[in-house]
Amino acid sequence: MAFKGRVEIDRERCKGCLLCLRSCPTDVLAVSEEPNSWGYYPVMEAAEEKCIACGNCYLVCPDVAITVYRIDGGSNA
């Protein structure tokens, strides 16, 4: 059974390397159309309902800009 999840991305830490986008098996992430204060186009959560909380995006992020929450019956783990 796949879990439900939610991804939180720190826009200011993200430099838009897109490693997380490539590692997501369910295409939850997309590139933002708005740059951050550094001029980078960070990744954003585009399809929250598809997130399975696998953590791949978190594991490959070199800037520690991603937090993944697993949703179990209404509580975050």
Say which residues have a Cβ less than 8 Å from residue 22's Cβ, sequence separation at least 6. Answer: none
pLDDT digits (tens, 9 = 90+) for 14-48: 999 999 999 999 999 999 999 999 999 999 999 99
CA distance 60 to 75: 25
Surface-to-core class of residue 37, CB atoms within 10 Å of its CB (0-12 exposed, 13-18 middle, 19+ buried): exposed
φ and ψ at residue 61, rounded to 5 degrees: -70, 115
4-76 CATH, one of 3.30.70.360, 3.40.309.10, 3.30.70.20, 3.40.50.1970: 3.30.70.20
How sure is the predictor about 72, in pLDDT bands with cuts at 50, 70 and 90?
Answer: confident
Percent of the chain with pLDDT over 70: 92
**Does the predicted TM-score (pTM) go above 0.85?**
no
CA distance 12 to 72: 29
In the numeric block, the tokens 């399975």 are attached to 52
